Amino acid sequence: MEKYLIPYLIFISIITFIVYAVDKKRSKKSNKNRIPEKVLLLLSILGGAYGGYLAMIIKHHKTKHWYFVIINILGVVGYSILIYYLLK
């Protein structure tokens, strides 16, 4: 399982970053066809927290929503601890 974890986290984080970036672009143009917050949060919870957190920093997206900050930071810390113990 551990040999699949890091590639999975990289893949889901790239997808999450792209989805956050698309939502940010859509938010600037208009409110139509926005990606639901539930989808963004679910992607972060399912392993995309690295990409979500990176998108928050680079794209300045969802930084004012405390629950996005908490979910992404806890995800980064949690998945980092998991990786550490699996590779130890």
pLDDT of residue 51: 97
Cβ partners under 8 Å of residue 77, min gap 6: none
pTM reported for the whole predicted model: 0.91
Select from 5, 14, 20 the least CA-distant residue to 55.
20
pLDDT of residue 45: 96
Tell me the mean pLDDT per 10 residues along the chain, length 88. Answer: 88 98 88 90 97 96 93 97 89
Half-sphere exposure for 83 (CA within 13 Å, toward CB): 15
Q: What is the DSSP letter of 37?
A: H
φ, ψ of residue 32 in degrees (nearest 5)? -80, 150
First CA to last CA across the chain, in angstroms?
A: 14
pLDDT of 87: 85
